[in-house]
Structure formats: C-alpha cells, structure tokens
Amino acid sequence: MRRPPVITVHEAAQHVQSGQTLLVGGFGMTGNPVHLLHALADLPTRDLTYVANNVGEVGIGGGRLLRNGQLRRAVGSYFTSNREAVQAAQDGSLEVQLIPQGTLAEALRAGGAGIGGFYTPSAAGTVIAQDTDTRVLNGREMVFVPALRGDVAFIRAWRADRAGNLQYRLTEQNFNRAMATAADVVIAEVEEIVEVGEIAPEHVHTPGLYVDYLVQATLTPEDLGSSADVGGSDRKVDERRLNMARRALKELTPDSVVNLGIGIPTLVADLITPEMRINLHTENGMLGVGPAPQGGGAMDYPVNAGKVPVTALPGASYFDSADSFAMIRGGHVDVAIMGGLQVDAAGNLANWAVPGRPLLGVGGAMDLASGATRLIVTMNHTDPDGTPKIVESCTLPLTARGVTDMIITDRAVFEFRGGQLTLTGLMPGSTLEDVRASTGASFVEALRE
C-alpha cells in the first residue's frame, strides 16, 4: 500500500515555488492549514496566486503571507474579513478575483474531476458575470465558470493514517476535500497520524491516493483567530433585531431546511427549539445547526457561516462546501433568510457591495439567493441617514434578480404577490404613515387584521 512521506512543516513549505498557484483549505481559520502557511511565510517564496475562500485573518494563516508581500494575486469569495487584504486590493499591491463561494467550491471540484468547467445560475445578471459566456439552459440564465486547479494544495484534516487517508472533524471539511483533488502536489496538515486500519474505511473522507505528503501539527486556540471562542462574536442583539428574527421564525414550517445568512438572520437560530423540527443549514458544511454554546470555540464546536461556534442538534450531519452548495443550487433548501442593503419593486436583491468600498466580499449570497426555494430578506428599513432601503430600482450591485419573496424590516413586512410589492404587516412601534414616508418604492397595502 502506498504510504505518503511524513515530513516537517518546513520541508513541506519548500515544495511551493515562487510564481505558483497555491490552494489553501479552510473556512476562515476553521480547517485552515495555518502551520504550513506560517512555515511558508518564513521562506522568500513570492508572487503566489492564493486560492482560498478568504486570505486568513490579520497576521494569521494567509494573512501572514499577505503581510510579507508574498502574494501577487488572490482568488476567493470573501476578502473583507481581513482588513489588510482590503487595503492591499485598494492600493494595488494585491490583484483580486472575486468568485461566489459555491461557484469557487464547484470550480475546484471540477478541476479535481478533470472537467473543463460548468454553467451555473449563480451571479447571472450581476457585475461578477460581466464578460462571461452566458446562456439560457432549462429556462434559466447561466454563466460559464472554468475549472480551477493549483500547483500545490495545503489542506488541514483531523486525522490521517499512514496510507494518507484523511478524516475531517465537524465543519472542517469545507474547501479541504475539493482542494485535495485539484492540485499537482497535495500536503495535508493533520492533528494526528495513526496506523493503517485505525480509520475505518467508511470514515475516510479523502482517500489517500490524493495525498502526497503528511505533516503532523497540533492546533491551538491562537491558530483559530476570531473563531477561538464564541465570546469573540460581534453579533449585535437589540430588540429591533430580535423582532425581525421573531417575525422571520413565524415563516418557517416543521421539517423545512433553512439557511441563515450572517447578521440579523443568525439570531433566528437562537429562537429555534427542537420541537419546531426546523433543519438549519450552513453553507460551510452542516445540517442541523443548534444555538450558540455558552462558551468554547472551534476547538470544541462546529462553526456557522459567520464563523461563529454553534452546537449540533440530534441528527445533524457534516459535509464539504461543494456538497453544501449543490444542496442549495439543487433546490433542496426550502428557505434562505438573508440580510439586505437594498430590495427593489421587482424583487431584485443587493446585499454584498457597500457604497464606497471595493467589491471584495460576496461569500455565498449569490448562490443562496438564486438557489433557495424561498427567500426572506431581513434588514433595517432605512440607512442611518434615513435613506430608504426598499427602492423602485436597486442602485447598488445586484446579488440576484427577481428572487425576493418577503422583506422583514424593523418597521414593516412586505411580500411579493403576483409580482407586486405588497405591505402585509407592521412591526411593533411602527405606523402605516411612518412606513409610507420611509419606503422608496410604491406598494399595495394589504394589512392583515
């Protein structure tokens, strides 16, 4: 049986040459091969193309390579989690290619499967799809995405056996499984290495034929950055936000599969009880998400899409990001609850590009908005200066076209009935006159008694 060599992190880092494309697993710092990246940061290797969901955190993981000036280009879905990556993109020292999160995962899976590319509805009609091959397939507009491959992949797993078989822990599969298939040289950083047979065949997530080298490295809370402890979460909880979460919860039915975006939607998770039989899905690879724990971090718990530690309900399951977005695009997610920056009278959603800031953080929003069976948007009714966020026509870059089914704000509830924006409810403390004055789009009034 083939046995990949066990080498040190410093030996592993030397397999990456200047000018190469490096695939890096992880979602935030969860499942991130931080020790391999830090060893690479000690070398003079430069001009790298860095392919990952994001560029680590400030000074950690890929963030250390960025700070050293070793990255020439970054390909990923969410760079705004690292302020130094944003600054590098703005000053031109880092070239950035933004890809929706699910599209990134599928492009890596295609690269590993020897497929040249694929068509997806995600990002159709948005600025990200400009200058791409676009076709209408099965009645839907879709854009072509070429497959992604790398010269070297750094991935992180929980355990490996001497044959190179890998087993991941909790939500640490994320991008690691696809990346393990899509590079010429694959180096797996693992918590422990066991003898052949100690990982049962049915528990192997990545077969050893993909793995060229193994590195043993012990994870510490410091390696996890903001996910090290649930207390590090910056979630804002106030009565208005909770009211929106409570109203959104009323739209969920037993046995439905629901995806919660970051921000206000994450508050819904804390309101769900097991008796409600609602299956929460998170795009980084989990079904059966429970509320946040009272303490602890990603060393002890899975994390959600906001990189916040969460609990797992009985019957929960874990999978990788490619499978997660296949569930979304395949119509297996019943409801998505997302935040918004603007929604217009045609049901178009804009929720990823902040005015005056670079376009650097789409995440999974485009995949979710176009793939979920029903979309509920939760957001404040106006910007802090009083500018309406419900408008006749979106002025911000679109996330998806004509996808919104319901809007829940701190002042009102709107539904799209027969394609018409319709006011169906008022939130606590709000009046009809207030909603009329603060809404920037015409609407039908059909308040329930």
Write down the catalytic residue from 106, 172, 283, 415: 283
Tokens of 204: 């192997």
Contact call for residues 424 and 413 (beta carbons, < 8 A): yes
Quickly count: other Cβ atoms within 10 Å of residue 98's Cβ. 22
How far is the C-alpha of 427 from the C-alpha of 418, rounded, in Å? 23
Catalytic residue status for 283: yes
Alpha-carbon distance values, 354 to 45, 134, 263, 365, 435 (Å): 34, 26, 15, 14, 24
Any idea which residues carry the catalytic annotation? 283
